[in-house]
Each structure stands twice: as structure tokens, then as C-alpha cells.
Amino acid sequence: MFNESIGKRSTPVKNIVERGAVKKFALSIGDPHPIFIDEEIGRQSRYGTNIAPPTFPRVFDFGTIESLHLPNKGLIHGEQIYRYNRPMKVGEEITCYTEVKDYYEKKGKQGEMGFLAFKNYGTDANGEIVFTAEQLVIINETIRRMVMSK
């Protein structure tokens, strides 16, 4: 069912590393370090501006993948990897898209589980990759049946 989605990509979406969103995010993870939120500290830093925490891409819109319909409940987040070429700067525009890398099934304690692997990309104004993020989503048997029967 998810096999057909392997290799599919979303249409890229432009996102801004918005100052207010970075501040709200940093506070929500209990990390109000001045490098993220103090304008003056940001200006004086090697980055010339504030930067975003490494898990901030959680906020971005990566676009939707055509014909991939995931349930909004019952999914388990198994693994998450971020790779950065440099930190993201507050105010810059990041173009984001996602790709289905893999789908496989394995028998586990709770029946047949589905494993869906995504890779997210974030590129800057020059088209250079700033970060990639890989995500493994686990779909349990009940949810898998539900999706299949639709």
C-alpha cells in the first residue's frame, strides 16, 4: 500500500525561519539561549544574526506527497536524524520538500508493523542544502488495516 509511494516527492514549499517562531520554539524546549533569541548577541556572533535550534525544522511545511494518505493517529515516531551543513539563520528563507525513501513490513510482538522512511530536505536561497532530516515512522497493524480498507 505504501510501496507505491517510494520515490515520490512533495512539491517544494518556501518557509521563513521566522524570529517569533524561533523564540517560541526555543522556549518550548526550555532552551532560551541568547544565540537563538537575543538580537544583539546574534548580531555580534559569528553568524551575524540569531540561529535556529537543530530540531526547528519540525515547524516547517515540507509539502504534501500526492496519493500518500497517512492517518493522523496511531503513528509511532521511531527514529529521527538531522544533518546540517551549517546552522539555519533567523530571517532566511528555506525551501523544503520531502521524499518517501522506503517502506517495509516486519513481524513484531504486536503483529505486522509497517515502517515508512522519509527524507526531508531544506535548501537556502542559493539552492544549497542547509539540512536533511530522515524520519522513520512505524505504523501498527490496526492502523495499517484501517488505511488498507479505505
Partner 1 sequence: MTTLTELHIGDSLHSIELAPVTRLDLIKYAGASGDFNPIHTIDEEAKNAGLPGIIAHGMWTMGNLAKLFSNLYEIGFIEEYKIRFKGMVFLNDVITLQADLKEKTGNRYFFNVAATNQSGKEAISGEVIFKTY
Which residues in 5-64 contact partner 1 (CB under 8 A)?
21, 24-25, 27-31, 33, 35-36, 45-47, 51, 53-55, 58-59
Q: How far apart are CB 149 and partner 1 at their closest, in Å?
A: 19
Q: Smallest distance, Å, CB 11 to partner 1?
A: 19
Kindly give, in sequence order, each residue whose CB lies less than 8 Å from that of residue 106, ignoring residues fewer than 6 positions away.
112, 113, 115
Surface-to-core class of residue 72, CB atoms within 10 Å of its CB (0-12 exposed, 13-18 middle, 19+ buried)? exposed
Q: What Rg do the C-alpha atoms of the chain give, in angstroms? A: 18
Residue 8 half-sphere exposure toward CB, CA atoms < 13 A: 15
Q: What mask, x for binding partner 1 by CB under 8 A, covers residues 79 to 108?
A: xxxxxx-xx---------------------
Does 121 bind partner 1 (CB under 8 A)? Our answer is no
Whole-angstrom distance, CA of residue 148 vs CA of residue 18: 39
Cβ closest to partner 1, residue 7 vs residue 48: 48
Q: Which residues bind partner 1 (CB under 8 A)?
A: 21, 24-25, 27-31, 33, 35-36, 45-47, 51, 53-55, 58-59, 72-74, 76-84, 86-87
